[in-house]
Amino acid sequence: MTGNSREAKIGNAQHTTKEKYSDMREKKYRIREMADILGGSTDTLRFYEKKQVMRPEKGENGYRYYTKEDIRNFLWIRMFWISLKRTCFRRWKRKEL
C-alpha cells in the first residue's frame, strides 16, 4: 500500500467523522420554539404529527425535537395549502359568475 492511498483512506474516514459530528450538532427545536419560529401554534404542529405529515424526533423524555428540515417541510406544506385554497376559491368564483 502506498502512502497516497493510505492518506486517501484516512482523509475519507476523517470526512465521514466530520459529517457525523455535524449531524449531531444540528440545532434541534422543541415544539414551542418551532411554533414561535413558524408563527403557528403548538396545536397545529401536533395536528400535523397526528396526520403523519410531520414526524418530529422524540427524545427519551418524550419531547418532540424539530430540525431545520422540519421547518422547510412545514413552510412547503403551508405554501401548498395556501395555493390550493386560492385555486379552489378562483374556481368557485368562476362558477358563481
Q: Going residue by residue through the chain (97 aa), what tens digit of pLDDT does each one get?
A: 455 444 444 444 444 445 444 555 678 999 999 999 988 899 999 998 998 888 999 999 999 999 999 999 888 888 888 888 888 877 776 666 5
Cα separation, 89 vs 96, in Å, equals: 10
Neighbours of 34 (CB within 10 A): 23
- Looking at residue 93, its pLDDT comes to 67
- Looking at residue 66, its pLDDT comes to 94
